[in-house]
Amino acid sequence: MSESGIIRSGVVILLEIEKKIGLKIKDLRNRNGLTQDELAARCELTKSFISQLERGQTAPSVSTLEDIVECLGTNLSDFFSEETEPRIVYKSEDYFEKEDKNGNIVEWLITSAQNGAIEPILVRLKPGTSMRPDKPHEGEEFGYVLQGAIKLNIGDKAYKVRKGDSFVYQANKEHRIESASKAESVFLWISTPPSF
């Protein structure tokens, strides 16, 4: 085979790999119940990049691919593996973390939670800040305050929840959580079905 033939063959193989990666990302995204916008937001990428990636029109760097597959609840070795056994244990290094403009941190404790019935997250809320309002949706939300205190706004009512207190509510009204402490507040928040 000539040198140009070898190069052409190599290009074709690379294009096939890009298509396979794109299709696998699309399949995982759909199984996780995420839109391209939602996946892009979690990975801090653009929707157009995710779209091009899923169609095999672009190739991510290894670090970008690693971020994407972690947001989809897996890792690179599992992503390229053909086994589909569900994961049972998640370690702290597996958590997916996102920080908002106020320095509040949301950690997804089970990165593949979108596949199941619940979505547990850990929230670290800075004093004087709040999370974005959540529009009404179906399901329930449960929380347990580990540190500090929060103010839970549900519809036109507000509730103060302190360390050691828990809360549960139907998510059919607009709701928002804000800090009610002079120090950082930390709480476990579980939604069913996954919606965060």
**Per-state percent for the chain, helix, strand, coil, to nearest 5:** 35, 30, 40
For residues 65 and 92, give the distance between their C-alpha atoms in angstroms, rounded to a whole number: 20
Question: How much is the pLDDT for 163?
Answer: 97
Question: How much is the pLDDT for 89?
Answer: 81
List, by residue range, all CATH 2.60.120.10 domains of the chain: 92-192
What CATH architecture is 92-192? Sandwich (2.60)
Domain 3-80 top-level CATH class: mainly alpha
Q: For residue range 125-174, what is the model confidence (pLDDT) as tens digits?
A: 999 999 988 888 888 999 999 999 999 999 999 999 999 999 999 999 99
Question: How much is the pLDDT for 4?
Answer: 46
Q: What is the DSSP string of 20-68?
A: HHHHHHHHHHHHTT--HHHHHHHHT--HHHHHHHHTTSS---HHHHHHH
Closest CA to 112 of 71, 150, 152: 71
Q: What is the DSSP string of 2-28?
A: -HHHHHHHHHHHHHHHHHHHHHHHHHH
List, by residue range, all CATH 1.10.260.40 domains of the chain: 3-80
Question: How much is the pLDDT for 2?
Answer: 47
Question: How much is the pLDDT for 187?
Answer: 97
pLDDT < 70: residue spans in the chain: 1-15, 82-86, 112-115, 195-196
For residue 176, how many C-alpha atoms fall within 13 Å in the half-sphere facing its CB? Answer: 12
